[in-house]
Each structure stands twice: as C-alpha cells, then as structure tokens.
Structure 1
Amino acid sequence: MEFDVLIVGGGPAGLSAAIRLRQLAIEAGNENFTVCLVEKGSEFGAHTLSGAVIETRALDELIPDWKEKGAPLNVPAIEDRVYMLGSATKATKLMDSIIPESMHNKGNYIVSLGNVVRWLAQQAEELEVMMFPGFAAADILYNDDGSVKGILTGDMGVAASGDAKASFEAGYELLAKYTIFAEGSRGHLGKRLISRFSLDKYSDPQHYGIGLKELWEVPPEQHEQGVVMHGSGWPLSDTGSTGGWWLYFDENNQVSFGLIVDLSYSNPYMSPFDELQRLKLHPLIRNILEGGKRLSYGARALTKGGFNSLPRLTFPGGVLVGDEAGFLNPAKIKGTHTSMKSGMLAAEAIYEAVVAERQHDEVLDYTLKYKHSWLYEDNHAARNFAPAIHRMGTWMGGAFNFIEQTLLAGKMPLTIHDNQKDYAQLERADHAYQPDYPKPDGKLVFDKLSSVFISNTNHTEDQPSHLKLTDPTVPISINLPLYAEPARLYCPAGVYEVVKDAEGAKFVINAQNCVHCKTCDIKDPSQNITWVAPEGGGGPNYPNM
C-alpha cells in the first residue's frame, strides 16, 4: 500500500502531524494527498500515559476552535503547590516566590492525555487520515540507496515456536514518499534509525525517566479540583535517587497520582514501583488518597535529556518527532505541547517537499523550521534543568534552576552537559543499601500483579516473546552476581524474575505482563535486553489515563 506520507505512532506528535498534513492539503485543494497512520495499541489512546497538565500553545495553533469542538480540556489549573519531603513524615511547602517560573501552571489544563489523544484521533479521521490502530510497525523498509521507503507491519497469528497458526495473517508493506516516526520514548524503530544514521553523533547521551501513575477516585471532601501538586525528596532521597512526584486534582473527584524516577539512578536495589507505593504512606499523600478507590495503573518511560540530547531530526526518507526524539521540556515537566509542535513542523516541511515532487531525500527544512520556532526557544531555555539536577543533586540543582528559570528567564550564559549514560550508573550490589519496602495492604499499598491487572494489559498467548536477550546467559552469569539482577526491580510490571530451584537460578521472562514501558531496554546494565513490538493490539488498554 502506497501513500504520500506514512506516520508510525498515534500519540500527540503523530496525530498532530497527520492533522496538519491534511489541513495543508485541503487548504491547497489537494484532496488526493494521502496520509496513513499506524498505531500498535488496540485503539488510539490505549497506550497513552501521562500526568497530565498540558499547555495549549500547540493545540491553539493546530485547532483554534478546540473548545467548540469539544476537546476534553475541562479543568483549568488554579493553584500550584510544591513540596520538599524531608522524611517519611515531614513536608515543607515551598513559597511561590522561590518556585521556578517554568513550574507555574496558570493557563494550563489538567487532563487525561489518553482522552485528548482519542479526541485528536477523531479530528484526524474527520480530515480523512487513513487510521490503522492495532497494527504494530515491526520493521523499516529501505530503498536501494539506503533511504527509508516505509515500514512492514508485524505478522499476526504466529506461534511462540515461530510457526504460523490457523489465524496467521502476513504483515503489510506500507510505503510512502516520507515516513514520520512518532513511536514515543525509546521507540524500537527510532532506536535503529538513530544507530543506522548516527543521528546522535553530536549530541549528549539521551536520558530517561520512568513514570508510574495511579488514577484514584477520592472522597469529595478530600478533593480540590484544579489544584496541581509537585514534590521531590523522600522517598527517593533514601537511595540517593532523583526524580519527583505529582498529584493533580481532575474532574469527577479523580486524582492523578504518580512518580517519575530518573533512570540514571545508581542503587540496584531501588524499585520505582515500590517507591511509588511507600510514597503514599507519607501523611501529605495519605490524607488525600485514604478512603478512595484506585481505578487504574500504568507505567511508561519518558525521554528527558532535553535540548542537549536531541539527535539529528532528519535522515533520507524520514524524520523523528515527539518523544521519539526527546522534545520534552524538563523545566516545565511537560512534553505534550512540544511533541505536538514538532509533529506540526515536520508536517509543514514534508508537505512542501512532496508538493515540490521530492521523495525519500532528507527534509532539512524540518530542522530549519524547528530552529526558527517557539519550540526551539522552549527547549533551549530548559537545556540545563535536568543536567543540573543530575550533576548537583536536588538542592543545589534546584537552586541553580531557580536562578536560571526565574531570574534569568532561561538565559544562563553557560550550558551544563550530562555525558554519563543511564545504564552505566549502577553500583555493585555488594556496596548498595537495600530499602525496606512496605507490604501490600490492598488499600493504599499494592503489589505489581494486581496493578498490572487494572492496566488491562493483555497479549495474545502463544506468540514469540517481544523481549529479546542478546545473550541468554548474561542475566544469571553477570547481572545477578554484580547487580542482583536489577530487571526484577526496575520493571514495574513483574515481567522479570530470578527463580531458584535445585538446578540453580533461572531468569524468567513473563512477557504477558509487559506494559510497554521500555525501561528494560534502557536500564539493563549489560544492554542485553531489546524491546520489539509484539503482535498488534497487545499491551495495556488504559482507561482515562
């Protein structure tokens, strides 16, 4: 199947690119301009996970009448509260005057990003974008000259043995003049493209975090619609890790609660999932959630290296957009408006190339449009935020960021670089502190398996594992003695286990549990795990997340 433009990934970046392409075509009377979008989730929004408080700048440009069209942005942010947790019982609320300007949310909206994505998908459908949810992009197709000519979707109905089942259906070759890759953080095709075309040759190493989220319904007397809370310190400070938590009061007495852990952490015994659970025992959080009902759970990696870690955005036949490249603004803790704008800029550059009867070349105009846009200014102003925290710690890094973001408006006359790779930061297990995590009580503190259950995660049984080990012996022979095999702890879904029996230790992969967070692909200290797309439609199905 051939198209003018093919888009891989139906998140904010991919959908914004699709909408902008069709808008340009319709405005020019070019109704036959074809745009195809493939999404591995069973439906649009099924795999979307974010806090989320969003800035509407990109949405205002893309769909100016979004309010009239019923976009699900119903809760304006009315108050910011930022806390430093000093211990399991202490909390200090920071004065507004010392909170970096970038973290003020007046004019922003508390949303379910999954619902925003579902709404964007409706707008794209109305513009006659060809939409294919439930189809996973499995491989990249190249022309003889090495340029990208499209993708191959995954075969359906393949048994774990590799044999075709009765339900077998071969994948499709989807070809296009240009392909936009918008898979989100650590996209498995984007990872290959970055390596093949050396797109990261002149940038700092990319950095990531894992975001874990729970959606709660709380008693009305504990709910303050429109309030935005952020914090850092305990419990991550116990293990010397960095990151922060959020708690957003959405509509219908619902609360979005979650934790971001920087994947540059060093303690192999640190478990992001269990840090989220014990954070709820702090009186500040407990007093909001206690007596409520947990509705959903999920986890996802986020690309947080920022401006300094951006790879080259273009290569022959295609471009990277959104979290695939890493446009998140860490100073604002926001990436939706930046992802959307990157998709729009890519769409404008590619549309011009197609109209000029070009195909499969490198669309350098995308980079030029980026450098002359507010998105570049947004990214550049926040370039030091994450490196300062990583290199100086929470307190000193926070003070630096206050000076840069509030007093100097992002114009510090120096750039801090963080050149250490996340996976290389783990210390040896025999030198590490082992946290004492709380036992599940089924009320505030939960286990991984019951959490995965409410993420509605499912994969077709009897299919090849989508979690590939380069060397199957590494987990037991190297990672276990050196790092206590951290996969069993950093995975937020109980995918990896070390099982010991009379024959010794075995590394078990429960791929059925995978919520597609990609943390294993990022953090494995031996870089021995590769995440690839499972059969289309598999994975979580997040409701209202």
Structure 2
Amino acid sequence: MEYDVVIVGAGPAGLSAAIRLMQRAQAAAQELSVCVVEKGSEVGAHILSGAVFEPRALNELLPDWQTLGAPLKTPVTHDDIYWFNNAEQARKIPGIAAPKTMHNSGNFIISAANLCRWLAEQAEGLGVDIFPGFAASELLINDGAVAGIIIGDMGVDRQGQPKDSYTPGMELKAKYTLFAEGCRGHLGKQLINQFKLDLDSAPQHYAIGFKEIWDVPADQHHPGLVVHSAGWPLNDASGGGYLYHSEDQQVVVGLIVDLNYQNPYLNPFEEFQRYKQHPVIRQYLSGGKRVTYGARAIAKGGLHSLPKMSFKGGLLLGCNAGTLNFAKIKGNHTAMKSGMLAAETVADALFNGDLGGEDLTAYASNIKNSWLYTELYSARNFGAAIHKFGSFFGGVYNTLDQNLFQGKLPFTLHDTTPDHACLKLASECQPISYPKPDNQLSFDRLSSVYLSNTNHEEEQPCHLRLKDASIPITFNLAKYAEPAQRYCPAGVYEIIEDEHANPKLQINAQNCIHCKTCDIKDPSQNITWVTPEGGGGPNYPNM
C-alpha cells in the first residue's frame, strides 16, 4: 500500500502530526493520503503517562477542543511538593522554594491514553487511516532513503515458521515516514544508528516510570490535587514520586527512578512499593483498591541529548527523539508540538512539488524557531544538575536557575556517561533488603503485571533478543549479579538452574509490558527489544 505519509505510532506526537497534515491539506485544497500504524491492540493500549497535561499544543492544534469533547475534565486546583526525609517524615516545600516548572496552574489531570483515543477520532474524521494491532517491524530503505515500513508477519512460531494462522507482513510505502514510537522506539533506535543521527548529541538519559490507578474512599479524594515528592525512598538513585487526584474518585500514584543508578541490587519496582507506604501517600490510598498497573521508560536527557531529527525520507517525533521537558515532568505537550512541526515541514515540502525521500532539514529550523526549543533550552541543565549534585542540591540549583534566571544561566552542565555504564560491580555494593508485600499498599510483580492486561501470542519468536546468549551468566551475573532480575518491572528475566545445577537466564517474554528498560540498562548492551506481533503487550484501559 502506498501513502503520501506513513506515521509509526498513535501517541500524542503521531496523532498530532496526522491531524496537522490533514488540516494543512484542507487549507491548501490539496489531496493527501496519511496512514498511522499502531502496535497496540487499540489506540491508547500502550500509552502510559502520569499525566498532568499542559494544553498549550492542543490549543494550537484544535482550538475548539472543549466543544469537541476532549477528555480534559479535571483542572489542577493545588500543588503539594514534599521532600521525604525518611520512611515516616516529610517536609512540605513552599511554592516559592520549588522550581516554577513544577507549578501546574492552568493544567489538567488526564488519562493520556484517553486523550489519544480522542485525538484518533479527530484524525479519522479528517480522513486519516489508522491501523491498530499492526506492528512496524522493519524499515524500507531505497537508495539510502527511508521509503516506508514493513508490518511484521502474524502467525509465526518460535522457530519463525508459518502456523495455520499465518498472515504475511505488508509493505507500507510513503514519500515520507514519521516515527513517533515513544521512548526508545525500536525503529527509531535503528535510524539513529544507521544515519548516525547522534554524532553531535550527548547520550540520551532515561528513567523508568511506574504508575498505578486506585479507586479510593470519597473522603480521601480531592479532585485536582497534585502531589510531587523527592527524597526517600530513593537513597541509591535520583528521581521522584507523584500522586494525582483525577476524576471518578480515582487517584494515580507513581514513582520515577532515574536509570543512571549505580547499585546493581537496586530494584525500581520495590522502591515504588516502599514509596506507597510513606504517610503522605498512604493517607490517600488506605482503604482503596488498586485497579491498574504499568511502567514505561522515559527519555529525559533533554536538549543536549536530542539527535538530528531528520534523515532522508523521514523524521523523528516526540519521545522517539527525546523531546520531554523533564523540568516540568511533562512530555505530552512537547511531543504534540514536535508532531505539528513535523507535519508542517512535510506539508510545505509536498505541496511545493517534493517527490519524497529528501532530508527535510527545515524541521530542525522549525523546531528552533518554536516554543518547543525555548522550553527545552531553559530546562537544559535540569537533569544534569540532579545527576551531578543529587536530588536535594540539584533541586536547589534548579530552583535558582528556573525562578531567578529563567533558565538562562550563562553556562551549561553536561552528563556524558550513558546510563548502562553507571553500574558499579556487585562486589562494591551492598544488597538491598526490601520488605515483603502487604497486599494492601504493596504488591508483587506478577500480580501487578496481571493488572496491566498484558498478553502475547505465546508461539512466536522471542522479541527480547540476546546478541550473545552466554553474556548474562559469564558477564552480567559474575560482575553485576545480573541486574535484569531486578530492573525489569514485570519479572521477565530470571536466573534459574539447569538440569546440572548451573545458572542460566530464563526470559519470560509473555510478561513483557514493553517498557524498554532492559534495552537501556543492560550493562553489556546485550539485549535488543524488537517489536512482537501486533496487538501484543499491555492493554491499558485509561493510563
């Protein structure tokens, strides 16, 4: 099938691009064919975000969003920001002492998944073809330019042989292909390597973000209240926690753990379980019921980690490039803006006779001349300051930088060590003892994965590929106590004994919730996450 534009990923960036392309086509009285492919079983199935949403980009994309029924129903009413001293004590930080980027007046507590479902409706109403359940598995490259993508085969067994249900993949050809796969996109990673897009950028930095949705008693629910925290339990890592009071007597709670941590015994999932036991958080969750769980990697390197975002035949959008503004802990509005700018760049080219396959370098200029660049520039030192100075003193630095100097201090901090290279040897670190789950506030990983509605067709090739099957034992286990056992939030990786009582790595790919943490944090960079059959993975209802 041939289109003018193929978009990979029905997230905020991809759908905003699709809508803007059709808006531009209508304004120019031009015909334009646009297709969006989405690996989730439906639009929104793989979308996970906090999310406090800044409507700036939406105001530009669809100014009448309120009339159109956008799912923005809970305005932020109040911000509480805490420093957790330990497991019992906390200090509330006055608003004036917190970076202004953490203030959320005018923002909304939303489900990003439901926003994407609504955006998909708007896109389809404009004539966009959207195909959920189809995974873009390979690039189409012609004469050094991206010419589209290949949808993965369906109905293939573990050995790669067709089953009775076999359906061959399909080529989707395009003049331009826009990649909006989200953080650590499978094809985006290939593109960055193949076209050497990161030669002039710092390494991307990541965190893993956890999220749960709880039904809570009415007297503990305060719609519009936003709670952020730093400090405990992250004694061996940087990051922070959040709890948002959304609609329908629900709260969302989560923890963000930066993946540059050093102790290989750290378990981000267990840190999240401890976080919920703090009195500030416990007061809102006690007596409630956990209804959904998920986790996802977050690209948080900011401006200095952005790769070149254009190449022959295509563009990188949103978190696939790393446009999240970590100073705000927000990436939906920046992803949407990048998608809109990408669409405008492509429309300008096509409507002026471009036949496709070019390197649209005007995209970089369009970004630099937009508020997206201004935001990322003002926040350029945020993550590096936290990494260099720690959560407390890094927070003090960022408060001064953002509140007094508007992000314009005349120097720049850099963090050039990739996250996977930060681990210390296990022999240099102390194991961490985590309490057993109480099954009221804290839980185990497998019962949590159950709530993510994760499913994969079992008889298919493993989508978690090892470059060298011996490395998990000979290198990772020997030197780092195989941290995959702990950093994976879904229990995918286990060290078990074979019939001779020798250790071996077992991969439970069925459990994978597509967070990409293994592809990022593995110290030997031996794991490559590739897309499984379309429709597999989590099925988040309203994350």
Q: TM-score range by the shorter chain?
A: over 0.9
In the TM superposition, residue 434 of structure 1 has moved relative to its aligned partner by 1.7
Q: CA deviation at 1:294?
A: 0.1
**After the TM superposition, which parts of structure 1 deviate over 6 Å for at least 4 consecutive aligned residues?**
none
What SS does structure 1 have at the residue aligned with 2:66? coil
Matches of residues 78-157 of structure 1 in structure 2 within 5 Å? 78-143=77-142, 145-157=143-155
Amino acid at match of 2:327: A
State the partner residue of 2:239.
243
- How far residue 129 of structure 1 moved from its aligned partner, in angstroms, is 0.2
Q: Residue by residue, what CA displacement relative to the aligned partner does 1:81-119 show, whole Å, maximum 9, x if unpaired?
A: 110001111101001110111110000000011110110
Q: Contact between 1:147 and 1:360, CA under 8 Å: does it hold in 2?
A: yes
Q: Confirm or deny: 8 A CA contact 2:327 2:379 kept in the other structure.
A: yes
Picking from 456, 480, 493, the partner of 1:459 is 456
Shift of 1:161: 1.5
Q: State the one-letter code of the partner of 1:56.
A: P
Amino acid at match of 1:284: V
Give a deviation string over 1:515-537, Cα, whole Å, max 9, x none: 00000000000000000000000
Q: In structure 1, what residue type is equivalent to 2:474?
A: S
Look up the equivalent residue of 2:344 and give its one-letter code. E
CA RMSD of aligned residues (A): 0.7
Tell whether the 8 Å contact from 2:102 to 2:327 is kept in structure 1 after alignment. yes
Q: Which amino acid aligns with 2:333?
A: H
Q: CA deviation at 1:203?
A: 0.6
Question: Which residue in 2 is equivalent to 1:410?
Answer: 407
1:485 aligns with 2:482: yes
Q: Which amino acid counterpart does residue 271 of structure 1 have in structure 2?
A: N
The question of whether the paired residues in 2 share the 8 Å contact of 1:290 and 1:444 is answered with yes
Describe how 1:163-202 pairs up with structure 2 within 5 A.
Answer: 163-202=161-200
Aligned to 1:412, what secondary structure does the other structure show?
coil
**Letter aligned with residue 370 of structure 1:** I
Structure-2 separation of matches of 1:160 and 1:5: 33
Establish whether residue 57 from structure 1 lines up as the match of residue 56 from structure 2.
yes
Per the alignment, residue 429 of structure 1 pairs with: 426
CA contact (8 A) 1:345 1:366 kept: yes
After the TM superposition, which residues 196-345 of structure 1 pair with which residues of structure 2 at under 5 Å, given as runs? 196-237=194-235, 240-345=236-341
Residue 364 of structure 2 is aligned to residue 367 of structure 1: yes
Q: CA deviation at 1:435?
A: 1.7
SS in 2 for 1:221: helix
Which amino acid counterpart does residue 44 of structure 1 have in structure 2?
A: V
Structure 2 length-normalised TM: 0.99
Structure 1 length normalisation: TM-score?
A: 0.99
**Residues 171-203 of structure 1: CA distance to partner in whole angstroms, max 9, x if unpaired?**
010000000000000001000100111110011
Deviations 1:23-68 (A, max 9, x none): 11112121x3100110000000000001000100000000000001
Unmatched runs of 5 consecutive residues or more in structure 1: none
SS in 1 for 2:173: strand
Distance (Å, rounded) in 2 between the aligned partners of 1:59 and 1:514 = 32
Contact 1:317 1:360 in 2 (8 A): yes
Alignment match, 2:44: 45
Quote the residue 1:543 is aligned against.
Answer: 541
Q: Distance in 1 between matches of 2:113 and 2:172?
A: 26
Moved more, 425-434 or 532-541: 425-434
Report what 1:27 is aligned to.
27
Query: What letter is aligned with 1:194?
Result: I
Where does residue 6 of structure 1 map in the other structure?
6
- 1:432 is displaced (CA, Å) by 1.0
SS at match of 2:408: coil
Once the two structures are overlaid, the 10-residue window that deviates more, 71-80 or 439-448, is 439-448
Amino acid at match of 1:367: A
Partner SS for 1:426:
coil
C-alpha contact 2:231 2:392 (8 A) present in aligned 1: no
Question: Which of 437, 440, 457 pairs up with 1:440?
Answer: 437
Partners of 1:372 and 1:476 in 2: CA distance: 50
Q: What amino acid sits opposite 2:424 in the alignment?
A: E
Q: In the alignment, which residue of structure 1 is the partner of 2:508? A: 510
Counterpart position of 1:391 = 388
Please state if 1:17 is matched with 2:14. no
- What residue number does 1:450 align with? 447
Contact kept? 2:153, 2:166, Cα under 8 Å: yes
CA distance in 1, matches of 2:388, 2:417: 10
* Alignment partners' CA distance in 2, 1:188 and 1:232: 31
* Mapped pair 1:351 → 2:352: no
Instruction: Kindly indicate whether the alpha-carbon contact (under 8 Å) linking 2:82 and 2:90 is maintained by their aligned counterparts in 1.
Output: yes
Q: Distance in 2 between matches of 1:342 and 1:97?
A: 31
Q: In 1, Cα distance between the equivalents of 2:300 and 2:364?
A: 20
Question: What's the CA shift for 1:418?
Answer: 0.3
For 2:135 and 2:114, locate their aligned partners in 1 and report how far apart those are by CA, in whole Å: 21
How far did residue 489 of structure 1 move? 0.2
Letter in 2 for 1:494: G
| Aligned length, in residue pairs | 541
Residue identity opposite 1:470 in structure 2: K
Structure 2: where are the runs of 5+ without partners? none
2: CA distance, partners of 1:334 / 1:280: 22
Once residues 410 and 506 of structure 1 are traced to their aligned partners in structure 2, the CA distance between those partners, rounded to angstroms, is 49
Contact 1:438–1:445, Cα closer than 8 Å, also in 2: no
The answer on whether the counterparts of 2:206 and 2:260 sit within 8 Å (CA) in structure 1 is: yes
Q: Secondary structure at the match of 2:138?
A: strand
Q: Distance in 2 between matches of 1:173 and 1:447?
A: 41
Alignment-derived partner of residue 500 in structure 1: 497
Measure how far apart 1:500 and its partner are.
Answer: 2.3
Q: Please report how far the alpha carbon of residue 441 of structure 1 lies from its aligned counterpart in structure 2 after TM superposition.
A: 2.0
Q: 1:380 aligns with which of 361, 369, 377?
A: 377
Alpha-carbon separation, structure 2, partners of 1:22 and 1:438: 53
Q: CA deviation at 1:250?
A: 0.3
Q: Distance in 2 between matches of 1:28 and 1:316?
A: 25
Deviation digits for residues 245-284 of structure 1 (CA, Å, limit 9, x no counterpart): 0000001110010001001011101111000001111111
Structure 1 residues 334-387: Cα deviation after superposition (integer angstroms, max 9, x where no partner): 000000000000000001111122110011111111111111101100000000
Q: Describe the superposition over 1:277-321 as per-residue Cα deviations: whole angstroms up to 9, x where unpaired.
A: 011111111111010000100000010000011000100000000
In 2, Cα distance between equivalents of 1:223 and 1:365: 48
Amino acid at match of 2:303: F
8 Å CA contact retained: 2:496, 2:506: yes
Q: Which residue of 1 aligns with 2:470?
A: 473
State the AA in 2 paired with 1:27: A
Q: What is the rounded CA distance, in whole Å, between the counterparts of 1:544 and 1:254 in structure 2? A: 12
1:503 Cα deviation from its structure 2 partner: 2.9
Q: Percent identity?
A: 58
Distance 2:409 2:17 in 1: 33
Q: Distance in 2 between matches of 1:88 and 1:333?
A: 24
Report deviation, 1:394. Answer: 1.1
**Residues 381-426 of structure 1, C-alpha deviations (whole Å, 9 max, x = no match):** 0000000000111121111101110011111111100000100000
